[in-house]
Amino acid sequence: MPKTPNTRLWALLEEADWSGAQLAAALRHLASEHGQQLACDRSMVSRWLSGTTPRPPVPALLLEVLTRRLQRPVGAVDAGLSRAPSKVFDLSWEADPLRRLFQLTSADLDPGRRHLLGAGMYSLAALAVPATWKPREQPPTGPSLGSPRTTGRAGQAEAGQMQTMARVFAESAEAHGPGHVRTALAAYLGHDVTGYLQASATADLRRHLRSGAAQLTVLLGTMCAGDGADALAQHYHHTAVQLAVEAGDTATFAIALRTMSAHAHDLGHHTPAALNLAERAADASCHAAPVVAAYAQAHHNRHATLTALAASERLYEQASTFPGPFTHYPAGALHYQRAQTLATLGDQAGATGALTASLRLRTPAERQASTLTRARLAETLLTPTTAPECCPAPDSSGHPPLTLRTP
């Protein structure tokens, strides 16, 4: 039977002012971002326009490139791909973070469903955190409606346990790499933490439990990013922001925003949304501990960036830190952040000196950070001097928030 032309995809191409060849080029570029090779050309696009349904992973790639080009969400139905899912997991800010955390960890641990996570694409649209979002003064009054389980107990011991586990997982990732740790952390979040979050508790305890869950989720997202699972990392970071908002945890909210911005910068997305995340993180950290504020400083022009860097160093000198991925910021990490800022500003000599200082200050326990810092130093030495670009958040190196995210 004759195929029905895909008039919706035609309309989107016209709105995007793209030819078939330009769409094919954008699809190949996006696939390469995710470590995939896509054989796609103008003739293939013509077949889709004539009514042929593209095979996975093309539908997910197609929706993301059109979303980026048109700067608005484009769903499967919008593109005439009604038989393709518009999204693997809900990245809207209205979604229930506890339910999504349960769904993500369940799929992450199930070999039969893990392919769903790989089918997702890193979304630039999801970087736009609503301007009205900020940590609540009061956490939700009870268990999340429609959540996966309604049993379990939680008290101060469980809240303390979550803080200890965050430190254990962060130290293990630093010593052995994120790929050996993230599955265990996903299991802990999916099997234990989601149960704690649904138990009856006082308002103060609910706040501590959600705060701990947000920190563990940031940590897991950062491990996924270090392992090359960028779309999954974004889902976890997105969920962590929501949990921090519900917990009224300004510090973790700032760290999660800053981590999302650094991840986007790492992937080469120097977009206004990524820059806005960095600036909102800096604003949110104003009332946080100095160590958090030192981590969150970031701006997008030369003068503001140098000012923020100086402020970060002053805040670091004032900080009283304690062991843990969200309360400790190593001196080597501060020098790494300085190097990234100077490199972005075009000061190659300054960046080289800062990276050398960072390596000198690394402790034997900072194995992954030392390795990645050496790699960055080699890149800096091999990179020809170029004109400075605008200054988004310094990029990351696959590390957890304060101790590893900026290694």
**pLDDT tens, residue by residue, 318-344:** 555 555 666 666 777 778 877 877 777
Measured distance CA(242)–CA(184) in Å, rounded? 22
The yes-or-no verdict on residue 290 having pLDDT over 80 is no
- Tokens for 388? 């400075």
Interval 128-147 mean pLDDT: 62
Residue 361 vs residue 296, higher pLDDT: 361
Q: Is the pLDDT of residue 34 over 60?
A: yes
The whole-number pLDDT of residue 188 equals: 96
Buried b (16+ CB within 10 A) or exposed e, 67-80: bbbeeebbebebbb
Whether the CB-CB separation of 194 and 101 falls below 8 Å is answered with yes
CB 264 within 8 A of CB 360: no
pLDDT band at 24 (very low <50, low <70, confident <90, very high): very high
The whole-number pLDDT of residue 192 equals: 93
**Residue 173 and residue 193: Cα distance in Å, rounded?**
20
Distance spanning both ends of the chain, measured CA to CA: 59
Indicate if the pLDDT at residue 145 is higher than 70: no
Q: Which segments of 120-155 does DSSP mark as H helices, in order?
A: none
Please give the residue that has the higher pLDDT: either 189 or 347: 189
- pLDDT computed for residue 386 by the predictor: 53
Identify the pLDDT of residue 87.
Answer: 54
Considering only 7-11, 153-157, 248-252, 260-264, which range has the smallest mean pLDDT? 153-157
Rounded to the nearest 5 degrees, what angle is found at the Cα of 268, between the Cα atoms of 265 and 269? Answer: 70
Task: Encode pLDDT of 227-239 as tens digits.
Answer: 888 989 999 999 9
The whole-number pLDDT of residue 317 equals 59
pLDDT number for residue 400 = 46
Burial category of 384 from C-beta neighbours within 10 Å (exposed 0-12, middle 13-18, buried 19 and up): exposed
